[in-house]
Amino acid sequence: MVYLALLRGINVGGNNKIEMGRLKLTFESIGCKKVTTYINTGNIIFESDLQEPETLAGQLEKAILNDFRLAIKVLLRDAAAIAAICQGVPARWVNDTTMKTDVMFLWEQFDRPEVAQQLVIQEVDRVEYFPGAFVWNVDREQVTRSGMMKLVGTTLYKHMTIRNINTVRKVYDIIRSYENSPG
């Protein structure tokens, strides 16, 4: 099965530094195959025969702690979950100079549509729930009026990891290349 591992809080602001080449070796050391990292913010695509994501995430967290002496949370999503987001988000929702679109991947205990009630959604915001994530879109000129910034420091914020939509779409392209490659 193809998975995307999302690591929360690495290589941000000079903290929790992890070199991607070493991280790839860490994943391989527990049996992950075809390990590919994408940018330094903790996006790892790989194959695993293990079908229990919670068990696999726990093994990865333990291996990262052992190899890097960092307690890093690992969130796993399978190819179908990433496909659902990328296929469901309007193509016009981008992350560029005119628009900000972030995918907020949720930890399991917060992964339900009613969690949206904890969000401060302003009239300038467009927010959609997908199993495993909220996608938040706002025009760049309206970012200061967005409720997105009110998330920082909340309990919910501590139980999510955020990627911009461009990163998620690129990772999805990598995932599709796995699915289309032999062996």
Q: Which amino acid is at 131?
A: P
The mean pLDDT value for 4-18 works out to 83
Query: Would you say residue 183 has pLDDT above 70?
Result: no
Homologous superfamily of 86-163 in CATH?
A: bacterial protein sp0830 like (3.30.70.1260)
Domain ranges of the chain: 2-80, 86-163
Query: What percent of the chain has pLDDT above 90?
Result: 81
Fold identical between 2-80 and 86-163?
A: yes
The mean pLDDT value for 174-182 works out to 82
CATH number, domain 2-80, options 3.30.70.1280, 3.30.1490.20, 3.40.50.300, 1.10.630.10: 3.30.70.1280
Q: What is the pLDDT confidence band of residue 179, given thresholds at 50, 70 and 90?
A: confident
d(CA 131, CA 37): 24
For the segment 41-91, what is each residue's pLDDT rounded down to a tens digit?
889 999 998 778 889 999 999 999 999 999 999 999 999 999 999 999 999
Q: What is the pTM of this model?
A: 0.92
**Best CA proximity match to 147, nearest among 90, 87, 104:** 104
Q: 20-29 and 53-68 helices cross at what angle (nearest 10)? A: 130
